């Protein structure tokens, strides 16, 4: 497994692979890798001749008072996981390597203006900009994103469509702990009591799924899930919303594919989770 730090060296390696006709699977990450990331890598490994993982804590997607400085990092553990799952190259650029003079940005309108986009107004602009840069540097055949970040996945798909990137975007299902909590690097922020409390997210999702299958309206689903979350004293709701799966805009009735998404604070840690539903 190669470990590369510069854009020039990545491009040199990829140029050789392209000449040999290899397909390239790409998994963008911010490091502190876990089983959720491993599932993306495994899918890339199945579908491609070569697999690249980028590890980059992207400064321009963090707002003021967010956890850029404290975001968990463990490059040695990350390298071990990548090697054990058959990664061919990891790319760990510095912020200075990625951003020489920040004047150009990519911003996807409308899809970024709901859910997490309301609470984190610069977040998706930063995500789209860095992903666009990585796509231009790596030029992958296929790129893999987790469905836990469902709004991000929808926005990336829209960016690729609108800007004609020649890459296939592949979503990979959420990986959960045995008690249902979605795998996340931010789970490490939770204390013992908070970790137990965090299972309330999955409990509300199970209740929401039951309600949506019964034909409940969006408001009824939100109210039902809100009641479940409010039974946990350590939980504070940021949002629970039902949106169109393609546009990320709120809906009232469930007559097309939807995303039911939530952001919940457990103590001071903000966790996200979701499920999708297609009435057809």
Show which residues are catalytic. Answer: 37
Q: Per the structure block, which two tokens stand in for 149?
A: 């970040």
What six digits make up the tokens of 36? Answer: 């959720």
For residues 151 and 246, is the Cβ–Cβ distance under 8 A?
no
Exposure string over 213-242, b if 16+ CB within 10 A, otherwise e: eeebebebbbebbeebbeebebbeeeebbb
Judging by beta carbons within 10 Å of its beta carbon (0-12, 13-18, 19+), is residue 164 exposed, middle or buried? exposed
Only one residue has tokens 């959420």, namely 174
* CB-based burial label for 277 (10 Å; 0-12, 13-18, 19+): middle
Q: Give the pair of three-digit tokens for residue 121.
A: 């107004």
Question: Which of 204-208's residues contact partners 24+ apart within 8 Å by CB, and which partners?
Answer: 204/228, 204/229, 204/240, 204/262, 205/180, 205/260, 205/262, 205/273, 205/274, 205/275, 206/180, 208/260, 208/275
């Amino acid at each position: 497994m190669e470990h590369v730090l510069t854009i020039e060296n990545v491009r040199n390696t990829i140029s050789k692979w392209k000449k040999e006709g290899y397909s390239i699977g790409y998994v963008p990450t911010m490091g502190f890798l876990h089983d959720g990331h491993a599932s993306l890598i495994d899918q890339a490994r199945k579908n491609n001749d070569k697999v690249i993982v980028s590890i980059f804590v992207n400064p321009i997607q963090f707002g003021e008072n967010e956890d850029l400085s404290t975001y968990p990092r463990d490059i040695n553990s990350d390298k071990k996981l990548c090697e054990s799952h058959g990664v061919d190259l990891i790319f760990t650029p510095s912020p200075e390597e990625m951003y020489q003079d920040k004047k150009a940005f990519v911003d996807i309108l409308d899809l970024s203006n709901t859910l997490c986009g309301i609470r984190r107004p610069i977040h998706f602009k930063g995500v789209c900009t860095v992903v666009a840069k990585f796509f231009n540097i790596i030029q992958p055949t296929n790129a893999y994103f987790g469905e836990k970040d469902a709004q991000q996945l929808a926005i990336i798909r829209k960016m690729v469509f609108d800007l004609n990137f020649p890459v296939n975007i592949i979503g990979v299902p959420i990986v959960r702990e045995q008690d249902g909590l979605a795998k996340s690097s931010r789970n490490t922020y939770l204390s013992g009591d908070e970790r137990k409390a965090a299972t309330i997210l999955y409990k509300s999702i199970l209740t929401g799924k039951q309600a949506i299958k019964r034909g409940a309206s969006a408001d009824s689903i939100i109210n039902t899930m809100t009641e479940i979350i409010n039974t946990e004293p350590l939980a504070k709701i940021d949002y629970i919303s039902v949106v169109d799966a393609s546009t990320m805009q709120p809906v009232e009735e469930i007559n097309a594919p939807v995303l039911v998404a939530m952001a919940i604070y457990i103590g001071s840690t903000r966790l996200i989770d979701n499920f999708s539903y297609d009435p057809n």
